[in-house]
Amino acid sequence: MSRYKRNTIYSRIKFYYLIAILLFAGLIGRLYYLQIYDNGDLKLQGLKQRSTEINLRSKRGTIYDRNLIPLTNREVTKTLVAPRETIVNNKEILRKIKENTELSIMEINKILDTNNKLIQIPLERKIDIENANNIFIVDIINRYSKTNLLSHVIGYINKAENRGESGIEKVYDEFLNKSDKSSLFIEYDKNRSLVLGSSYYVDSSVAPEEPAGVRLTIDYYIQSLVENILDEDDIKGSVIVADVETGEILALASRPSFNQEHMEEYFNREDMALYNKAVQVSYPPGSIFKIIVLLAALEEEPDIINQEFYCKGYESINNVTINCNSTHGDISLKNGFAKSCNSVFIQIGKKVGSKKVIEMAKRLGFGEKVNIGLIEEVEGILPEGKELLGPAIGNISIGQGKIEATPLQITNMLLTIANGGVQKDMSIVQGITTKDGKFIKDYNKMKDKRILSEELSNIAKEFLEEVVYSGTARAIKLDDIGGAAGKTGSAEGLLKSKPTIHGWFAGYYPRDNPRYAITVLVEEANSGSISAAPIFERISREIFMLNK
């Protein structure tokens, strides 16, 4: 073999040796990295396969109110975590649990009767348990508060998939499903004793500037007082409180409410607890719709404001008779509005015509979504085509028949009047935030839009003031805090396919420089005057005390 060939073979052997050495060094380096440097991650992956994970906080970002008060992830619960057998077989531990939890005996037994090897029981306070090294008491941050404040707006999630199913949880799911995570992994042996060194806390954080939260226009304190009033009076229906200057919603409540932690209890119920009645259900507006008829008439025939009318207690149209709430006799337009006289408004409706009335309703946002940022919102109903002909004007003039509106649409109309005919872009979301509430992107709002002339709006304001001064809402007494203006409404509708009366009051407070537009809807009511107006009065007074 020539020297050249031998050198070539030796060079190749050296080359392969070098490659082998490099590969071996790389393998050693990789093993060192995995077993020494990054052993925590390997340990965690192994622990996950043979242990139980306890989530110490929600896996979702925080929803804030306008003042950065958390509406989710705000309450901490002391929670006992232990093997089921440990609790079942130890009467002393079980006694301490029963003495220190809000759960009933039935609820505790239900937890203990499950097949879960590891159970969790919420406590009112931390308890001392001697010689129990397989029991943990940890702080768990709950996704939702015990009061379920703002439940219909916040919505709820599919816990198994950490996915928003309704409300803000669903609309902003792509941002809210990013959050700091904190978990406790626990491993027990076959005797249900804690394996030494097997408890493992894991924390992971999203980047400080990453979008991971939502800030609402809701005021936590106004929302709380509204919900307390509804619950104390056992009201079924809804309330909206909006800022007149900005159009932002400060409170939105619907009753009955629901417990977001136990959604399985509500899906087959018939009480409509899962419906957000402020935006998701439309109702006959009743005499609230007389505001629309008034505006249409004043715009079409301004001199109608000086005309006198006669109420004989009823009005007949093509053999259809519609009764009034009283026999008013000779009555002015202003008094007819204040006393909610059906005869006056049917006569006006006949003069103006169905088409003009419905056009005014559409201009003020009826028959379409207001679009405040909740996908559950419905459009309501306005009659069209043949539904506008003949005696239909009778029902149209008093807000009955084919007309339906949401409390949100009613609030939108009142805001426009309170702002002198300028329509505000209503909203319930201020923007997307970081996990700490720092703004990243504002909610995109439309510019203000003039809908009515200022003169027409001022007349409407005078008429709304007269309702509270001498009309159907004269029982409202708010002059000591600035007075109020508004309109009552009582409408026949269907609730769960049964005829019922819905009571309305929609107005604003204070009277001269309005700050708050408030709409109250009470289902199964006596009337708007008796059932809804007192709720408006109480909310207005408590807001005043809140700001005092």
Phi, psi of 470 (to 5 degrees): -135, 0
Residue 420's pLDDT is what? Answer: 97
Residue 197's pLDDT is what? Answer: 46
Q: Which tokens belong to 304?
A: 């109608």
CB 334 within 8 A of CB 460: no
Q: Which tokens belong to 528?
A: 């708007």
Residue 124's pLDDT is what? Answer: 86
Q: How many CB atoms lie within 10 A of CB 391?
A: 16
Residue 203's pLDDT is what? Answer: 60
Amino acid at 28: I
Residue-by-residue pLDDT tens, the chain, 548 positions: 555 555 666 666 766 677 777 777 767 766 565 555 555 555 555 555 556 777 788 889 999 999 999 999 999 989 988 888 888 888 888 888 888 998 898 988 888 888 877 888 999 887 877 666 678 888 888 999 999 999 999 999 998 888 999 999 999 999 998 777 777 777 666 655 555 445 555 666 777 778 889 999 999 999 999 999 999 999 999 999 999 999 999 999 999 999 998 898 898 888 899 999 999 999 999 999 999 999 999 999 999 999 999 999 999 998 889 999 899 999 999 999 999 999 999 999 999 999 999 999 999 999 999 999 999 999 999 999 999 988 899 999 999 989 999 999 999 999 999 999 999 999 999 999 998 888 888 888 899 999 999 999 999 999 999 999 999 999 999 999 999 999 999 988 766 667 789 999 999 999 999 999 999 999 999 999 999 999 999 999 999 999 98
Strand pairing class (439-442; 136-142):
unpaired
The CA–CA distances, whole Å, from 261 to 143, 159, 269, 272 equal 8, 9, 16, 17
Residue 18's pLDDT is what? Answer: 73
What interhelical angle do 290-300 and 342-352 show, nearest 10?
40
Q: How many CB atoms lie within 10 A of CB 371?
A: 14
Residues 6+ away with beta carbon under 8 Å from 257: 148, 151, 152, 227, 273
Distance CA 256, CA 5 (A): 93
